[in-house]
Copies of this chain bind each other. A is one copy, B any other.
């Protein structure tokens, strides 16, 4: 962990081949960059090389546009997809909610205590119910109703607000509307959803009811990036809790709330720390 220091992060994926690690580390080192963290992985089934490289920007003797040009050349030779990120400044998070407050409260209290290093310029909801909660925290709350007939206009309003505030990524904190493909493609791998089941079991509506009806002994929650396919995007984190015959659907819901907020919070944490690399609809979570 190098929370304090300012660092640059490279996320790389490419066909596996010889010399990837040494070429990349040498490139950084030769330009004065001290590597503080390197994690790589080879997906042998897919023959894909994946790496996260983090170095201290202090002493790095190259501007970022020059870096993009020079590193880009090498990346092209290796067939790399790559992204350059930075540990600073704080990213801007936009939160979407409907009526359930537990995930929202959890994020806001992590933010307020300083645990979660983001700025939160707004909360957007299709209902007015949680305006009071949000106002307690001094964050603007935008009530934008959504229904089938007005969905395009609603999404246009949402996008305008997000873009004006230069929001970096979105969290759907139990937001009960489906975003259109036109919306999601503008925030590819930047919209995190929490689904209240152990995906791929019980996608869609009312997973706790389905789980109860099936008589499972464990329930789960799944945080994932949102894609055009409902509940089918790259999974970031999952966790579970035991249930028994003595738990009603209501108990599933109660126990599940705690799962949901923890599993969502972990996904947000990984995202903010630039620890997630997406490839082939899966995630690598670097540690």
Measured CB to CB, the residues of A under 8 A from B are: 1-3, 18-19, 21-22, 25-26, 28-29, 34-45, 50, 101-102, 105-106, 109-110, 112-113, 115, 133, 136-137, 198-202, 212, 214-218, 220, 234-240, 242, 244-246, 248-251, 254, 257-258, 262, 265, 280-285, 287
CB-based contact B244/A216 at 8 Å = no
Q: Which residues of B contact A202 (CB under 8 A)?
A: 200
Closest-by-CB residue of B relative to A257 is B115
23 contacts between A and B (CB under 8 A): A2-B44, A19-B34, A21-B35, A22-B25, A25-B26, A41-B246, A43-B245, A101-B109, A102-B109, A106-B109, A115-B257, A136-B136, A198-B218, A199-B201, A201-B201, A216-B238, A217-B238, A218-B240, A240-B240, A244-B285, A245-B284, A245-B285, A246-B287
Q: How many copies does the complex hold?
A: 4
Q: Which residues of B contact A237 (CB under 8 A)?
A: 217
CB-based contact A245/B282 at 8 Å = yes
Given that A101-B113, A113-B105 are known contacts, is A45 also in contact with B215, CB under 8 Å in the complex? Answer: no
CB-based contact A235/B249 at 8 Å = no
Q: Which residues of B contact A112 (CB under 8 A)?
A: 101, 105, 133
Given that A245-B283, A258-B262 are known contacts, is A26 also in contact with B34, CB under 8 Å in the complex? Answer: no
Q: Which residues of B contact A28 (CB under 8 A)?
A: 22
